[in-house]
Structure formats: C-alpha cells, structure tokens
Amino acid sequence: ASRMLRCLLVASACGANALRVPTFRSSAPDTRRSGSASMGPQLHGSQQSRSPLVNWYAYEADIALAMAPPRPSNHPFGQVPFLVDDGGVEIFESGAILMYLADKYGGLDTPEERAKVGKWVVWSNSELDGLCFGAIPGDHRVRGTSMDKPDLKQVATLEAILGQNEWLVGGAFSVADVAVGAYLNYVPIFFPSADLSATPNIARYMARCAERPAFAAAFGDQHAGLVRSKVEGWLSSEGGSAGPADGLKKSLASEDVDAGPAAAASVLPVPTQR
C-alpha cells in the first residue's frame, strides 16, 4: 500500500508539472549567478550604428548587456550590431537580436506572445526602414524620408493605429515599440526640415518614446531632446528649425560603419546595420 501511495504521489507531481502554465516576466530575470562561468549577452556595436536600438531594449528590460568592440566578430558580413550569448549563440540583424533578447530575457513565453510583437519588429526592418530613410537593400544610405507624406498608405495606416493606441501591442510598451520608435526617432535628425505636423499621432508617439529614460540612456540626451523639441514644434504647427539637428546628424554620419561605397555629399549613411 505504501508503495502504491508513493507511485500515486509521483504521478500526481508529474501531472502538476505538465499542466503548469508559463507566466509572463515583466522584467528580465537576473541571470548572473555567483561562481557561474556564464558571461551573458555581449553586443558588438557602436553609437554610430543601430546598436543603440538594442541597448534601448536592454535598458528597458533590465538585461545585463555587455558591450564589445565593433570588430573583430563572427558576423558573416562584417557589420554591427552583432550579439553573442552563452551556449554559442550568435545573432546579426537588429530585429533578430531584439527578438532573441525579448524571448530569452523579456518574457515572450509563447508563440502567441512572440507573434504579437514579432510582426512589428519585422515590419520595422523590412518596411519602416525604407519609409524613414529611403534606403534600399544592400545600400543603406539616406536618400529621403517618406514619413512626412501623410497620403502614403503605410504612413496613414500607422497614424490611424497610433490614434487608437498609446503603444503598439496590448496597451503596454514592448519590444515592438523599441523597433518602431527607434527608426521613427532618427527622422528629425537626418531630415531637419521634415514636417510631421500632418501626422500628430505619430509625432506624439515619437515624443513618448523619446521621453523614456531608457531611450535617452541608449541614444543620448541630445538625441532625445531634439526629438521632443521637433515634436513640440510640429504639434504647434510651427514646424521645426534645422538648428541642433545638424551637429548631431554630422556626429552620427562621422563613422562609416558598413555603409557601402563612400556616400556623396548629399547622401548620408544611415546608422547601420539592421
């Protein structure tokens, strides 16, 4: 009888474990353990690349992300950002890096949760990149922005979505907003004369992103302040002056990080790589 009781207890415990539902983590778990050989995620990148986008999410999710020099790394195309993590994990493309970090450290416990944010991360790399910068595959140079064209279907659709939602997924800030907000908030820097006053919902969304302390920590106070200033000008229907954007734009363009052939004077390199 005692043996049968032990068997029933074991079976009951196994059943409880099998039925356990994963819970959402609102912040990253502390993966650093005393005496462990674990190094945690490390990012090869630079401030002039799209690395700050990854840093922004790491700050938001409280991920202990170590920075490494841009090169050397095992990136197959020799670009940045490039993430390495324990267990031989190696990832390139900023969107793929964001999804990995959100999956492992940020609480994306189910395919359904991944799908909710993943579609926005992929859209930012595949569609929003071209809308913001005019870049084309294989040549990530700034040619012109389309974000100041409210009649474009993509711009009008995003404007409508942000008119109904403070954040893109579930009413709460997520990795989807990091991917989309980071791209949008480069527009005032590279295009000081761009006027987004006709899309006030997008403009307010940009300001909400720039107001987050983690955004300023990743991109810098000057970047965050410029975005807020430009949005204030757009919303007051005064447009924005070219002023402080010029200096910051030159700083971002000063390091040719995998921008391909040398850019012409009127064609600036976009912060690379995706």
For position 138, what pLDDT does the model report?
A: 67
- Cα Rg for the chain, rounded, in angstroms? 21
For position 137, what pLDDT does the model report?
A: 66
pTM of the model: 0.76
Q: In whole angstroms, how far apart are CA 99 and each of 57, 91, 105, 122?
A: 10, 10, 10, 9
Q: Where are the alpha helices (DSSP H) in the chain?
A: 2-18, 51-61, 94-105, 111-123, 129-133, 153-164, 175-184, 187-190, 200-210, 213-219, 221-235, 245-253
Cβ–Cβ < 8 Å for 83, 97: yes
For position 37, what pLDDT does the model report?
A: 57
For position 271, what pLDDT does the model report?
A: 61
| pLDDT tens, residue by residue, 207-247 | 999 999 999 999 999 999 999 999 999 999 754 444 445 55
Residue 261 is given by DSSP the state: S
Cβ–Cβ < 8 Å for 250, 41: no
For position 245, what pLDDT does the model report?
A: 52
Mean pLDDT, contiguous 10-residue spans, the chain (274 residues) = 40 34 32 52 94 97 96 94 96 96 93 97 94 77 88 97 97 98 96 96 98 98 97 79 50 41 36 55
